[in-house]
Each structure stands twice: as structure tokens, then as C-alpha cells.
């Protein structure tokens, strides 16, 4: 009985709804026959066209998506733990344990990897230090050998002098016996050690010290005069030779001091700032301590080509063969390139290249390190390049109307750095004679440019890209572009006619 009570309720309500229908005479056709259609709202009128139908539809879609994102954003703000609109399934105890164990495993792998990298880094640094110590030891051995050679020359000169004194002492003893030992005050008296007394006479006679007894006979006078003449020429020549040996040993140091003093005097005369003067003095001192000379080319240019080639190959060929850019090139071409290298020493914080400069050189680090820096005040270090690394090689391989491509970063010396410089002109002069190597370098240059190209393009896109709320608009189909173009042309004609 209670269940049947609500059922007849809709029937009495339908009767009053149909009763007023005849009363409304103006709209009898608008009254629906079906009572369910009576409650439905009339369809909304079409929105007005602002720009054109297609553009208005796109804008409405954008507004609709923004509303959806706003709703989703509000939901996430209300529930800060929500990661998606969907309900997160419950997490079991096994899932928690598995997740923790997986995190521990990942952390352990990362720690092991980091530890391994640190060990490899320490190993490389130890090998590098060992190599540097070995090179320093070899340089010290070379210096010691050179010093021993000069010392040997000095000892040999002193030996010649002592031998000449020995011969003169023997001649004096023979002359004393000829005149009669102890016969006069000039000859040997026969007392004490004969060799020591005669040697003492030879030293005082040849070196012209004086204080000798006066000769009396013609023989004694002739012998003494001969001793004086021999002493003047022989002893002076020996002393001069010793001076030359000592001068040759210190010639480099004298040249260094003279050059440095002349440069300092020039800077003082022209009122150069003291900071610049200190840097110039530092460059002179370090260059001399590092390579024992100020300019290697002055020494090598005086040698024949065969000797220069042998020295260049012995010193620098091993470094050149490690460069990936020149792997696969003709060996003789590398030798020709070695003869064109120029060695330059940079002081700490000196800029090797600056961003925006025209690149016409390639640099090879012989010793020391350089840093690629950036930022407003060049405080950001992107990478540190050490001995054996190469930079600026793209400047040699890329042709440009202005003579080379622009440098893309600043490179400055990290401490004292000794660099080899190879100019583009020298490389092209060499490649004329090696067409196969030219092809190899051209191929590697294209690979380097391709590898560099995407990175530069990505960087430019990242600069242009802002905070995008929506994805990029898909391209318009070709057919629609044709119709759209014709429509725009017609609209332009109508506007023109309207203005006329």
C-alpha cells in the first residue's frame, strides 16, 4: 500500500499542465505534446562572429582549455598531495619495502659510481703528477749535465795551465843542473824538495809575480826572458779561454738580464702602470725558468732544416698524434705542421681568446691549463682543459667571408699556460701538398660542425621559448591554406572597393 501511493502522483499534476493550453491563444503550436520536452531549455543562440568563424572557434577552444586547467589547478592547490585527478591506489607494505630497497640499491650504485670516478680521477692526477715530476727530473738532469760540461771545460783549462807550469819547472831544474846546482843565487840551491822549489819558481816566473833573484850569466838572462814571454802569451791565452768558458756558461743569464733591464727601462721611460710592469717581469721570469730562453725561434732558425725537424719531432710529435682531429692524416704533414707551431706563454688570468673575436688560430695546450668561462663577469667555469687538449680547431676548418668564425666563449689561462699556436694560413699552405689529408680534415670538420649545430640551435630555441601553457599549434593543412588564401584575397578586394 505505501509503495503504490507515489505512483498516481504524476497523473494529477499532468491535468493542470494541459488545462491552461487553450487559454494561451497566441502560441498553441509552441506547447509540446510530450510533457518531458516541456521541461527542456531552448537551444542557446549561436555566438556572434567577431573575427571569422574559424578564428572564433579556435579562441573558444583556448578559453575552454584554460578553464579546465584552472579547475585542475584549484583541485591540486586544495589537495597538495594529489599528483593527478585520478585516485591513487592504496600502497601495500610490500610496495613500501620494495620501493625502499630499490632506492637503497640506486643510492648504492650512485655512490659506487661516484667512488669509482673519484678513484679514476685521483689515479689520473697521480699519473699526471708522476709524469710532471719525471719531466722535471729529466730537465734537472739535463741542466746538471750541461753544468758538468762547462765544469769539465774549466777543469781542462786549469789542467793545461798546471801542465805548462810543470814543463817550466822541469826546464828550470835542467837549467840549474847545467849552470851547477847552488852555483848562483838564481839557480836551484839544492835544499828541500827539488820539484816543489822548481815548481814554485815556474809559478812566479810564468805568472809574472816577480820577486825572483836576478840572473847573472847570459844563459840565465836568456832563460828568464824566454820565461817571461811564454808566461805572457800562454798564461793570458789560458786565462782568456777560461773567461770564455765561464762567459758561455752565463751567456743566457746575461742575455735574459739585459733584455729584462732594457724592457723595464722602456716601461719606466713611457710611464707604464706598475701593474703592467709587474706582469711583464713575471712573464720574463717564468719564461726563463720554464724553457731557459725567451724565444725558441731565435735558436731554431739558426739550425739546418734537418736538425729543426728532428728536434720538433722529438719534442712535439707525441702530443700531435694524440689529437683526434689529426688522426688518419699523413705523417709527413704532421711533421710540416710541427715546424709551423709557435710557442706562447700566458700568465694567470690572461685571456687567450675572447667571445666575438674572429678565430684564425688553433691552440694546443703544451703545459698548464685553461678554462672556458662565461657569465656577466666571467665567473662561471664551463670546463677546464689540461695539457694535450685542443681548442679553436673549428676556426681552422670553417671558411668564412670575414676570415674565420666568431669565438663563442671566453678562454683564459688557469695559472701559467704554455700553448702551441697554429694559424689558418700556415695550415692551408701545408694542405695544398696533401690532398688526401685535406679530405680527411674536411670530413672531420663537417662532423664537428654537425655536432655543434644542434647544440647551438637548441640554445637559440631555449632563449626564444617562454613559459608555454599550451602546445604549439599544428600546421594548417595545405587545402585549408589554399581556401584561406583565396578567402583573404576576396576580403582584401572587398575592403579596397569599400574604401574607394
Which pLDDT score is estimated for 20?
Answer: 43
Please indicate, yes or no, if residue 235 is contained in any of the structural domains.
no
Cell 698524434 maps to which residue? 321
Both 426 and 330 in a single domain? Answer: yes
Both 279 and 398 in a single domain? Answer: no
Please indicate, yes or no, if residue 372 is contained in any of the structural domains.
yes
Both 282 and 376 in a single domain? Answer: no
Angle (CA) 377-383-388 rounded to 5° is 130
Please indicate, yes or no, if residue 438 is contained in any of the structural domains.
yes
Which of the listed residues 438, 453, 468 is the one where a domain comes to its end?
Answer: 453
Please indicate, yes or no, if residue 265 is contained in any of the structural domains.
yes
Both 339 and 274 in a single domain? Answer: no
Instruction: Please check the confidence at residue 459 and state whether its pLDDT lies above 50.
Output: no
When mean pLDDT is compared across 192-206, 252-266, 299-313, 461-475, the lowest value belongs to 461-475
Q: Which three cell numbers stand for residue 65?
A: 582549455
Both 264 and 359 in a single domain? Answer: no
CA distance 242 to 358: 54
Please report which confidence band the pLDDT of residue 34 belongs to, taking 50, 70 and 90 as the band edges.
low
Instruction: Please check the confidence at residue 91 and state whether its pLDDT lies above 70.
Output: no
**Average pLDDT of the segment spanning 421-444:** 82
Residue pair 332/437 in contact by the 8 Å Cβ criterion: no
If one counts every other C-beta atom within 10 angstroms of the C-beta of residue 44, the result is 6
Both 367 and 258 in a single domain? Answer: no
Task: Collect all residues with Cβ–Cβ distance below 8 Å to 300 and sequence separation of at least 6.
Answer: 308, 311
Please indicate, yes or no, if residue 93 is contained in any of the structural domains.
no
Please indicate, yes or no, if residue 375 is contained in any of the structural domains.
yes
Instruction: Please check the confidence at residue 56 and state whether its pLDDT lies above 80.
Output: yes
pTM of the model: 0.46
Residue pair 323/317 in contact by the 8 Å Cβ criterion: no
CA atoms within 13 A on the CB side of 384: 7
Both 271 and 378 in a single domain? Answer: no
DSSP-assigned letter for residue 382: E
Both 335 and 449 in a single domain? Answer: yes
Please report which confidence band the pLDDT of residue 16 belongs to, taking 50, 70 and 90 as the band edges.
very low
Both 345 and 266 in a single domain? Answer: no
- The percent of residues in the chain predicted with pLDDT above 90, rounded, is 0
Instruction: Please check the confidence at residue 322 and state whether its pLDDT lies above 80.
Output: no
**Average pLDDT of the segment spanning 81-85:** 52
CA distance 256 to 172: 48
Both 327 and 383 in a single domain? Answer: yes
When mean pLDDT is compared across 21-35, 41-55, 126-140, 379-393, the lowest value belongs to 21-35
Q: How many domains does the chain have?
A: 2
Question: Domain containing 369 — which CATH number?
Answer: 2.60.120.10
Both 411 and 333 in a single domain? Answer: yes
Instruction: Please check the confidence at residue 120 and state whether its pLDDT lies above 70.
Output: yes
Please indicate, yes or no, if residue 421 is contained in any of the structural domains.
yes
Please indicate, yes or no, if residue 331 is contained in any of the structural domains.
yes
Going by C-alpha positions, the residue among 294, 298, 416, 409 that lies closest to residue 365 is: 416
Question: What does the mean pLDDT of the chain come to?
Answer: 73
pLDDT, tens digit (0-9, with 9 covering 90-100), for 352-375? 888 888 878 888 888 888 888 888
Residue pair 366/420 in contact by the 8 Å Cβ criterion: yes
Please report which confidence band the pLDDT of residue 201 belongs to, taking 50, 70 and 90 as the band edges.
confident
Both 266 and 326 in a single domain? Answer: no
Structural domain containing residue 373: 322-453
Q: Name the 3-class secondary structure at 414.
A: coil
Amino acid at each position: 500500500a505505501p509503495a503504490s501511493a507515489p505512483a498516481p502522483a504524476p497523473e494529477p499534476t499532468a491535468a493542470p499542465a494541459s488545462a491552461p493550453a487553450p487559454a494561451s491563444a497566441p502560441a498553441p503550436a509552441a506547447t509540446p505534446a510530450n510533457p518531458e520536452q516541456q521541461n527542456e531549455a531552448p537551444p542557446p543562440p549561436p555566438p556572434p562572429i567577431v573575427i571569422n568563424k574559424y578564428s572564433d572557434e579556435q579562441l573558444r577552444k583556448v578559453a575552454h582549455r584554460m578553464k579546465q586547467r584552472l579547475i585542475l589547478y584549484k583541485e591540486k592547490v586544495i589537495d597538495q598531495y594529489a599528483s593527478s585527478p585520478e585516485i591513487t591506489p592504496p600502497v601495500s607494505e610490500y610496495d613500501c619495502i620494495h620501493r625502499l630497497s630499490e632506492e637503497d640499491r640506486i643510492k648504492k650504485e650512485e655512490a659506487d659510481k661516484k667512488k669509482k670516478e673519484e678513484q679514476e680521477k685521483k689515479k689520473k692526477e697521480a699519473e699526471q703528477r708522476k709524469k710532471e715530476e719525471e719531466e722535471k727530473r729529466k730537465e734537472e738532469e739535463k741542466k746538471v749535465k750541461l753544468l758538468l760540461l762547462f765544469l769539465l771545460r774549466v777543469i781542462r783549462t786549469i789542467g793545461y795551465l798546471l801542465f805548462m807550469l810543470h814543463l817550466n819547472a822541469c826546464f828550470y831544474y835542467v837549467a840549474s843542473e847545467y849552470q851547477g846546482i847552488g852555483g848562483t843565487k838564481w839557480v836551484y840551491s839544492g835544499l828541500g824538495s827539488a820539484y816543489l822549489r822548481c815548481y814554485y819558481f815556474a809559478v812566479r816566473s810564468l805568472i809574472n809575480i816577480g820577486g825572483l833573484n836576478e840572473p847573472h850569466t847570459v844563459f840565465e838572462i836568456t832563460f828568464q826572458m824566454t820565461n817571461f814571454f811564454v808566461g805572457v802569451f800562454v798564461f793570458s791565452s789560458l786565462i782568456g779561454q777560461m773567461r770564455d768558458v765561464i762567459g758561455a756558461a752565463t751567456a743566457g743569464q746575461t742575455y735574459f738580464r739585459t733584455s729584462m733591464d732594457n724592457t723595464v727601462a722602456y716601461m719606466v721611460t713611457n710611464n707604464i702602470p706598475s701593474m703592467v710592469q709587474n706582469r711583464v717581469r713575471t712573464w720574463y721570469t717564468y719564461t726563463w725558468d720554464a724553457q731557459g730562453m725567451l724565444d725558441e725561434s731565435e735558436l731554431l732558425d739558426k739550425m739546418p732544416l734537418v736538425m729543426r725537424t728532428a728536434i720538433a719531432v722529438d719534442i712535439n710529435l707525441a702530443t700531435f698524434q694524440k689529437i683526434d682531429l689529426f688522426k688518419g692524416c699523413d705523417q709527413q704533414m704532421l711533421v710540416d705542421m710541427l715546424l709551423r707551431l709557435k710557442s706562447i706563454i700566458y700568465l694567470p688570468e690572461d685571456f687567450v681568446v675572447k667571445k666575438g673575436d674572429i678565430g684564425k688560430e688553433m691552440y694546443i695546450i703544451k703545459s698548464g691549463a685553461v678554462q672556458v668561462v662565461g657569465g656577466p663577469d666571467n665567473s662561471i667555469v664551463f670546463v677546464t682543459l689540461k695539457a694535450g687538449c685542443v681548442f679553436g680547431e673549428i676556426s681552422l676548418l670553417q671558411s668564412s667571408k670575414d676570415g674565420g668564425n666568431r669565438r663563442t666563449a671566453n678562454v683564459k689561462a688557469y695559472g701559467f699556460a704554455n700553448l702551441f699556436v697554429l694559424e689558418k694560413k700556415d695550415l692551408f699552405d701545408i694542405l695544398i701538398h696533401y690532398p688526401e689529408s685535406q679530405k680527411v680534415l674536411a670530413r672531420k670538420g663537417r662532423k664537428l660542425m654537425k655536432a655543434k649545430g644542434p647544440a647551438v640551435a637548441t640554445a637559440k630555441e631555449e632563449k626564444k621559448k617562454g613559459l608555454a601553457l599550451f602546445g604549439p599549434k599544428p600546421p594548417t593543412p595545405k587545402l585549408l591554406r589554399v581556401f584561406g588564401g583565396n578567402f583573404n584575397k576576396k576580403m582584401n578586394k572587398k575592403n579596397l572597393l569599400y574604401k574607394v
